[in-house]
């Protein structure tokens, strides 16, 4: 699966939920990179607590390749991994089994 580009963007404040949302995004990127060899870029945008954006948005906001996965709450690692698989599955030519991308042609569905 060479040439893939997956991006997670975390908009967060300086609170505990924002810090945890960033850690969850980094853990999801590690899971996908380790298990599937697909690099995931994690970008973090810190929004000051006293800004208008911070008051108007339900932070943290987590986005995977342009699609909002979580707003106003910390997502689970599995939520982000599922969102990444959704991005992969939406591209033509990627073999999938039970919602997961197949990493090799040797995989057999029993």
Each residue of 11-53: pLDDT tens digit?
998 889 999 999 999 999 999 988 888 889 999 999 876 666 5
Is 19 domain-assigned? yes
pLDDT attached to residue 25? 97
Domain CATH number, residue 81? 3.40.30
Q: What is the domain count for the chain? A: 1
pLDDT attached to residue 13? 86
Is 70 domain-assigned? yes
Query: How does DSSP assign 50-87, residue by residue?
Result: TSHHHHHS-S-EEEETTEEEEESSPPPHHHHHHHHHHH
Which residue would you say has higher pLDDT here, 55 or 84?
84
Residue 17 is part of which domain span?
6-101
pLDDT in tens, 57-90: 688 999 999 999 999 899 999 999 989 888 877 7
The band of 91, judged by pLDDT with boundaries at 50, 70 and 90, is: low
Is 108 domain-assigned? no
Residue 3 has pLDDT above 80, yes or no: no
């Amino acid at each position: 699966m060479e040439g893939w580009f997956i991006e997670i963007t975390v908009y967060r404040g300086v609170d505990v939920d924002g810090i945890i949302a960033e850690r969850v995004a980094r853990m999801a990127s590690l899971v996908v990179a380790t298990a599937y060899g697909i690099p995931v870029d994690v970008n973090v945008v810190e929004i000051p607590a006293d800004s208008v954006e911070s008051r108007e948005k339900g932070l943290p906001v987590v986005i995977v390749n342009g699609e909002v996965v979580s707003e106003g709450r910390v997502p689970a690692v599995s939520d982000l991994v599922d969102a990444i698989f959704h991005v992969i599955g939406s591209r033509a030519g990627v073999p999938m089994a039970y919602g997961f991308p197949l990493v090799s042609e040797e995989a057999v569905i029993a």
